[in-house]
Homo-oligomer: A and B are copies of this chain.
Amino acid sequence: MPNKTPIKPSVLSEEIIADTAIFRIQSQKLKFSNGVERTYERLVPKGNHAGAVMIVAVNDQNQVMLIREYSAGTESYELSLPKGLVEHGETIFDAANRELKEEIGYGAENIEFLTEMTVSPGYMSYRLQVVVATGLYPERLEGDEPEPIEVVPTDFDLAIEYANGNEITEARAVAALYMTRELKLSREDSSDSGLF
């Protein structure tokens, strides 16, 4: 890992320039350490949640629980991983378990932190926590989806093929599946007593 620590720009001013039900846009004027000034726009949190979590849930048959639901952004049905917002007072593990119950109808006995990702660091402050869930058991909570989510249990190796093809397009789901495979392989190599 490169060790050089760059000097961060200083914030000259910042202002909320749009604020809708979902999005809050901030304009931020920066001065870089070389004296150059620039104004950026970025999406900042609305404050009504405590982050977000994505879940790689693997059942006892080594299937990963993919979901397919309508994505309003791309106007298409997308195959991806369950995810949702962390509510105030919840841990990411609480939130992951609740989202699983709402989105796929299962709870998880074991939930393990995998990684933290950014989605578009140039334009969004957003950071996503990713967890791996195992020990699944049937339990459903009512979600707020407009139509039932299609749950697609998929052999783990096939899910990796989907991630490597164009069946799964969402970058963070692709990345999460590959990283889970690395974790599984390292556990198999070391006979680690982890979740897999």
A interface residues, Cβ below 8 angstroms from B: 1-2, 4, 6, 8-9, 17-18, 20-23, 25, 27-28, 30, 32-34, 36-38, 40-43, 68, 70-80, 115-128, 146-147, 150, 152, 162-164, 166-167, 169-172, 174-175, 178-179, 182
Contact = CB atoms under 8 A, between A and B. Distances in A.
A116 B172 CA distance: 13
B2 A79 contact: yes
A20 to B, nearest CB: 6
Given A33-B147, A174-B117, A167 B74 contact: no
Contact of A32 (B22, B32, B146, B178): B146
Given A78-B118, A174-B175, 6 more contacts: A23-B23, A42-B72, A74-B121, A76-B121, A80-B121, A128-B171
Interface residues of A, dominant DSSP: mixed
Nearest to A170: B118
Contact of A147 (B36, B77, B115, B164): B36
A28 B72 contact: yes
A74 B125 contact: yes
A25 B28 contact: no
Contacts of A22: 41, 123
Contacts of A117: 169-171, 174
A6 B38 contact: no
A92 to B, nearest CB: 15
